[in-house]
Amino acid sequence: MENTTIHATNGTSRGDEMRSPDQTQSPPSRLSFVHQSSRPITLRFEDLAYAIKSQSGEDNNNNLGSSSITNMTRTLLNGVSGVVRPGEMLAMLGPSGSGKTTLLTALAGRLPGKVLGSITYSGQPFTSSMKRKTGFVAQDDVLYPHLTVIETLSYAALLRLPKTLTRDEKLQQAEIIVTELGLTSCRDSIIGGPLIRGVSGGERKRVSIGQEMLVNPSLLLLDEPTSGLDSTTALRIMGTLKGLARGGRTSVVTTIHQPSSRLYWMFDKVVVLSDGCPIYSGHTGQVMQYFRSIGHVPGFNFVNPADFLLDLANGELDLLMF
């Protein structure tokens, strides 16, 4: 049985789980193909640390243009652990620059240089076979500006779905994704780009997510999937991802900036980062109980635990009563 792992300043762990009613229900979905995942994966990361070498230049003599370069090491992640089982959704929360994207990129096996600690995928290291089972939606997605929404998804379906499906079945999957992600009204609009006006930023983000959902990943990693979206659209997308997680036994990991309370409760687990260090890693339902147990109680009645966590991660301790 899995125990909740909580890393905080004192490293304490707690066991009881509280869940909101929202967490126990998976939204219905019609993603027929993507719900057929037969390769569920447990993602486990333990004590991750990552540092980069940066150079800072300082002019010694401006007239002669000479300068001294100092090599500095900057730690971007330190002691981060967690586990995501098939069907679970994990959120990475923290202030801007706290290391969320770095951690997500590490879990996707895409970080250059050495990541200390251990990352395993059902007990195995990252391999090219694991890469094929992983979907990654980056913060700045790259799409062809001249293709329409349905063309983009149809090409992705034709290129990336297995040969066991007929051409018509593949195209049908693209249509299902269009409906599922609420893209029907812009189905035939071009994606667009800096020079040609196309779909909105939120619609564009949904197309990027759809491209990855199409291929039925065992592990789906998404960087800020809800940024720039209104809360209703954000909830709808997360509902779709939750349906994918539950139905397809996909492990879903996302970075997220400022989730609403309803969005927060859609996640099973959360890792909260502060300057690259975890202040919490475990079940979403246990957060308040855990921080209360170590003396951090919100100064007023927080409706949204995410607000409390972000205050903590930002060092806003004056908002708290001890």
Ligand X SMILES: Nc1ncnc2c1ncn2[C@@H]1O[C@H](COP(=O)(O)OP(=O)(O)OP(=O)(O)O)[C@@H](O)[C@H]1O
In the complex, the residues that contact ligand X under the rule CB under 6 A are 52, 54, 76, 94, 96-102, 255
Cβ 52 to ligand X, closest distance in Å? 5
Q: Please check whether residue 283 is in contact with residue 293, taking contact to mean a CB–CB distance below 8 angstroms.
A: no
Residue 216 or 255: the one with the smaller Cβ distance to ligand X is 255
The nearest distance, CB 227 to ligand X, in angstroms, is 9
C-alpha to C-alpha distance for 164 and 232, rounded to whole angstroms = 36
Which residue reads 């004056």 in tokens? 318
Q: Min. distance of Cβ 81 from ligand X in angstroms?
A: 17
Give min distance, CB of 260 to ligand X, in A.
Answer: 17
Assess contact for 279 and 312: CB atoms under 8 A. yes
Cα separation, 202 vs 222, in Å, equals 14
User: Smallest distance from the beta carbon of 310 to ligand X, in angstroms?
Assistant: 11
Note every long-range contact of 152-157, with CB atoms under 8 Å and residues 24 or more positions apart, other chains counting.
Answer: 152/191, 152/207, 152/211, 153/177, 153/178, 153/207, 153/210, 153/211, 153/214, 156/210, 156/211, 156/214, 156/215, 157/214
How far is it, in rounded angstroms, from Cα 102 to Cα 211?
22
List the end-to-end C-alpha distance of the chain, in Å, as a whole number.
34
Q: Looking at beta carbons only, is 122 or 139 nearer to ligand X? A: 139
Q: Which is nearer to ligand X, 88 or 223 (CB)?
A: 223
Identity of the residue, 156 or 222, whose beta carbon is nearer to ligand X in the bound complex = 222
DSSP output for 61-104: ETTTTEEEEEEEEEEEEEEEEEEE-TT-EEEEE-STTSSHHHHH
Shortest spacing between CB 90 and ligand X, in angstroms? 15
CB nearer to ligand X: pick between 2 and 58: 58
Radius of gyration of the chain from its Cα atoms, rounded to whole angstroms:
21
Which CB sits closer to ligand X, 104 or 214? 104
Tokens of 252: 């879903």
> CA of 18: how far to CAs of 2, 252, 273, in Å?
15, 20, 22
Least distance to ligand X, CB of residue 278, Å: 13
Nearer to ligand X, 101 or 200 (CB): 101
Residue 104 or 156: which CB sits closer to ligand X? 104
Rounded Cα–Cα distance for residues 99 and 95 (Å)? 9
Q: Please, what is the minimum distance in Å from the beta carbon of residue 133 to ligand X?
A: 24
Pair of tokens at residue 96:
């801007």
